[in-house]
């Protein structure tokens, strides 16, 4: 049932443009994979093969890049991918409690997708926002910081109703009671 994945002429022109920005084509694998993920929603083995063939690179090289970054999805994911940081700082601040709460709430484990295809959860390494722990990232985009169970409830409700988390989620604690 799964159709063969291909790049059309527009894609190939875009990929060539991306590749030309770098002295070596290997260096363009990241942006080309982003482009591919944007187009197909994930970079599963068939997409990795397509990228490798298109860039005339070994599949192993593309595979190595995809598997190094949790930001690349190796299989189809839910509409919203919740990357919960469980690295040291977030762990100390309750990252696993947040992860477990989210798993219970959505009825799936990290690495899984809800049956309706709305949400996937991943447990990820440090996202470089340790000062905002515990935190998560929504579909490689917004960070939601200083997580609490209430914030998780609101986030899920918002995402279900089509609302993305806003910048208020980045407020420092000293700003949360209205002081500068």
Q: Which residues bind ligand FES (CB under 6 A)?
A: 85, 87-90, 126-130, 133, 135
Q: How far is the CB of 54 from ligand FES (least distance, A)?
A: 34
CB of 94 to ligand FES, least distance (A): 11
Long-range contacts of residues 47-50, Cβ cutoff 8 Å, at least 24 apart: 47/5, 50/5, 50/6, 50/7
> Looking at beta carbons only, is 52 or 135 nearer to ligand FES?
135
CB nearer to ligand FES: pick between 52 and 124: 124
Question: Which of 57/126 has CB closer to ligand FES?
Answer: 126
Return the number of the residue (63 or 101) whose C-beta is nearest ligand FES: 101
- Comparing CA positions, the residue from 141, 161, 160, 179 lying closest to residue 169 is 141
Task: Decide whether 77 or 98 has the Cβ nearer to ligand FES.
Answer: 98
Q: Which is nearer to ligand FES, 7 or 132 (CB)?
A: 132
| Least distance to ligand FES, CB of residue 144, Å | 12
Closest contact distance (angstroms) between CB of 99 and ligand FES is 12
> What is the spatial order of strands in the sheet that 80-85 belongs to?
119-124, 80-85, 136-138, 143-144
Considering the complex, what minimum distance in angstroms separates the CB of residue 82 from ligand FES? 14
Residue 75: CB minimum distance to ligand FES, A: 24
- Per the listing, tokens 């935190």 go with 135
Backbone angles phi, psi at 121, to 5 degrees: -120, 140
Q: What is the number of residues in the chain?
A: 180
């Amino acid at each position: 049932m799964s159709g063969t994945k291909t790049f059309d002429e527009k894609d190939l022109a875009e990929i060539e443009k991306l590749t030309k920005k770098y002295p070596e084509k290997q260096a363009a694998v990241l942006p080309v994979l982003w482009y591919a993920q944007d187009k197909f929603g994930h970079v599963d083995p068939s997409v990795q093969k397509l990228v490798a063939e298109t860039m005339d690179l070994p599949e192993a090289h593309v595979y190595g890049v995809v598997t190094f970054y949790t930001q690349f999805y190796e299989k189809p994911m839910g509409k919203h991918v919740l990357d919960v940081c469980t690295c040291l700082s977030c762990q100390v601040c309750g990252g696993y409690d947040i992860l477990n709460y989210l798993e219970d709430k959505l009825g799936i484990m990290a690495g899984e997708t809800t049956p309706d295809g709305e949400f996937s959860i991943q447990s990820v390494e440090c996202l470089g926002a340790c000062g905002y722990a515990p935190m998560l990232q929504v579909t490689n985009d917004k960070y939601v910081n200083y997580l609490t169970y209430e914030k998780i409830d609101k986030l899920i409700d918002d995402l279900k109703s089509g609302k993305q988390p806003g910048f208020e989620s980045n407020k420092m604690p000293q700003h949360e009671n209205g002081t500068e």
